[in-house]
Structure formats: C-alpha cells, structure tokens
Structure 1
C-alpha cells in the first residue's frame, strides 16, 4: 500500500510542476517576444523488489516553442522585431552574450542602445552607442543609421549593426531570465539571413485558450492523484485495524 501512496504522491508533485510551467506561460501571454516552455511526462522504472513492469512518471521540460508570434506594426521608430527565425544579441547582467526576440530599444544618457528591460544591445564589436542629437533609423539587416538633427551636414552615418543569429533549437536553452543562451557556453555566429522588421513588435506565441485547457487538465490530474493517496491511506488504516483485531 505504501508503494501506491508514494507513486500517487510523486504524480501529484510533478503535475503541480507542470501546472506551474503552464501558469508561467499564461502569465506571459502579453509579453512581447515570449516563447512558451514545453513540458511532458516521461516514465521511469521503479527500483527495488517487485515486478519489473512497474513505472512512475516525472515532469520533464523538453524545450521551448520557437514559433514566431504575431507581428504588430506600431509606427514607433524605436520598435523592432525579428521577422524570421533567429534572435538578436544582448549583454546579460553577468556580462555574457545572450539572445532575445523582445525587440524595441531606448537610448541611455550615454547614447547606448538598450532593450526596454535595460540590457545593452550588441553589435559585432560590443554594445552599440549612438552620438547625441541624432535620429536613429534601423535597417532590415540590423544596421543602425544615425542622422544629425542640426548643422548643414545631414548625411546618415552607420554607427553599428545589431548582431542577429540563428542557432538551432537544440543549440540553445532558455534561462530563468527569459534569455536564450548557447548550450555549453560560447556565442553564436552572426547570420545575414536573419531579418529585422523596423517599427514592429512581436507578440508572445502563447495560446491563451490552449494554456487554460491545460490548466484545467493539470488540476484534474492533481485531484486524481490526491484521491489515490487518500484511498491508499484509508486502506492502510483498515489493514491496521484488521491486524489489531487478529
């Protein structure tokens, strides 16, 4: 009976973990560039005496959905999206290179281009800085053109090019901060086939209806495991009573 209790307890624990992942996806349904986490169950054999066919299941994060979200034209010159598979490079808080699809930028007091979460946007040579008093225009290839707003010379100047990469889904993992990184460390090579779409934002690729259905399913699975735990406990109590009477 104890084995049934432990199996049901393990099932409830891992269903709760799946529900937490689904809840996180649902919470980011309006987060630009967010990519949904994918989870599944996998079977593991029970170690110990007894039939070798006994198994239990555990939650397993199998990756992330890299499908593109909807593109929304905003008309805002400081917005941009990645219009093809791939990412643009940012500098993570620890100084390492990471990748995102949450486009859009702001210029800090030094003119450095940063994401709206404050991360420096990287070019091939490091963070991109725009001289003060210039209007920025982004190109499809990630080029950053700056045009003087005063003086007689209004010729656009190339001040940098946003690094865009396209590693395969198996080459990257998503960290707890939502940024993607290369498995095993290192950086990805720039890919000229990745295209930037100016004045546009990419929405989350989370399907809200599907996530809500998953939440309901997880809740029912959790309740079923709890009922199995209760049944196992009741059977143990009855067995103990019978032994006491004997």
Structure 2
C-alpha cells in the first residue's frame, strides 16, 4: 500500500507551504520585501496500464491507462513581483523605486548585489551606504559642508550649500533590471545576487527602458497581503490535516489486513 508514503509527501508539502507563509508574515514590515509562494508538482506515476497500449488478443487500443500517482514534490519557491505601497518618511536618503529595478550594492568581496531597500545612510566620510554599511554603486559621496541632498526622479543627485543658490551635482543613482527577476538568489539583508536564471543585469538611468523612477523621502513597504497569507495558512493547515487522515485510514486498513486469519 503506497498511501502512507503518498500522504507523507503531502504532509511535507503542506509543511513547506506553512514555512513559506510564516516567512512572509514575519517580513510584513521589511522594506521592499516581495512575498514568496511555494509551487508544487506531482511525482512520477506507477504505470500499471499505459494509455494507448494494445490489448493482447484483441488488438484494441486502450483509451485510458491505469496510472497510480506517487505523491507531490516542491517545484519552486518564487517571488511574487508586486509593487509595495509608498510610505512617506521625509528622510533625504530614503529612496523608493516606483516601478521596476534594483539598486546596485557593492559587497565586501567586490561583487555586486541588488536590493529594493532604499533606506540609505551616510558614513563618517559622507559615502552613501545601506543599513548594513555596503556602499551604493556607483559610489556617491556627500560633501561635509552640504546642507541638503536632493535626488531627482531620474537619479541625479545634487548637494546644496549655504553659499550657493543652485545645487551642485555630485552623482547619479542607476538602477539594474533583470529579464527574470524571479531567478535572483536571495542572500539575506534584503539583498539579491544574479544567477544564470535571472540573466545579467541591465544597468541604466531610472525612467528609461522599462526601469522605474525614484522618489526621495519615501520607502517601499512590503508587498505582503496579510489577509491572503492568513487564508494561505488556513488552507495549508487543512491540507495537512487531510493528509494526516489519509495516513490514519491507511494504517487502519493495514491493521485490519494483519488481523485476518
């Protein structure tokens, strides 16, 4: 009897579904976080009679076969690409992306990572960095005597000084786009790295070639829909319970079989 093993794969799948949902709910306040969804696929089938087979003796073609499924397996846990709402903060280094794109960040080993978390800070040298201290790329340094930083929608960054009417451009913030954002690999700290599935980053000016624009003084909130997550959690719990009942029923049937004399 395969029912015990099949039900076990179903319970494992629903447990993963709960784990993914729990991670979404725990990140409901994480800046720029996109909810994840677990996708599943059925396992191989035990072919007792293949569809289209020729019946021995009659030569008839079977219109349908006998295929016994062997359960379910995880296929992917992918991001749901969805724009989060804009939360006004008033911070001059708080930058939200309205539309597609990622900020490029330089990691300690010199490689690039990507994020939609625009809660930037300044170092003691005036360099713009993430909350973890990773520099924004291309590198932008705010002069110590600057009294205000202005960031336009197209990424140009200006510093205003006390003795000047016009701001002085000190750099440009670019955005990276990917042909398959769901192929990015999350590494924590709101950061992603490129993979073969995501494709190479296409970096350029905000507002061009499908890239979003920047909004200074805003942060993008998590795109997690709490009501949808609670619904997902209830469905996963019910699915787990049903698979557990299948295991109980299969166990009782096996028990009855062993009692036959």
Rate the CA distance shift 1:179–1:47 in 2: closer, same or farther, 3 A. farther
Rate the CA distance shift 1:202–1:195 in 2: closer, same or farther, 3 A. same
Q: CA RMSD in A?
A: 2.4
When Rg is computed on C-alpha atoms for both structures, the one with the higher figure is: 2
2:133 to 114, 118, 134: 118
Cα distance between partner residues in 2 of 1:58 and 1:176: 24
Rate the CA distance shift 1:170–1:204 in 2: closer, same or farther, 3 A. closer
Rate the CA distance shift 1:167–1:73 in 2: closer, same or farther, 3 A. same
CA shift for structure 1 position 39: 2.0
For the pair 1:63 / 2:75, whether they are aligned, the reply is no
CA shift for structure 1 position 84: 1.8
Flag the structure with higher helix content.
1
The answer for the alignment partner of 1:238 in structure 2 is 256
Q: Within 5 A, what are the aligned runs for 1:8-87?
A: 8-46=7-45, 51-61=66-76, 63-87=78-102
TM-score (norm 1): 0.85
Aligned residue-pair number: 237
Cα distance between partner residues in 2 of 1:13 and 1:116: 36
For the pair 1:140 / 2:153, whether they are aligned, the reply is yes
Cα distance between partner residues in 2 of 1:17 and 1:171: 19
The answer as to whether partners of 1:171 and 1:183 remain within 8 angstroms in 2 is no
TM-score (norm 2): 0.81
CA shift for structure 1 position 20: 0.6
Query: Structure 2: any 5+ residue segments left out of the alignment?
Result: 50-65
Rate the CA distance shift 1:195–1:223 in 2: closer, same or farther, 3 A. same
CA shift for structure 1 position 221: 0.6
Rate the CA distance shift 1:10–1:159 in 2: closer, same or farther, 3 A. same
Most deviating of 189-198 and 33-42: 189-198
Most deviating of 199-208 and 82-91: 82-91
The answer as to whether partners of 1:97 and 1:187 remain within 8 angstroms in 2 is no
Cα distance between partner residues in 2 of 1:164 and 1:197: 13
Which secondary structure does the structure 2 equivalent of 1:63 belong to?
Answer: strand
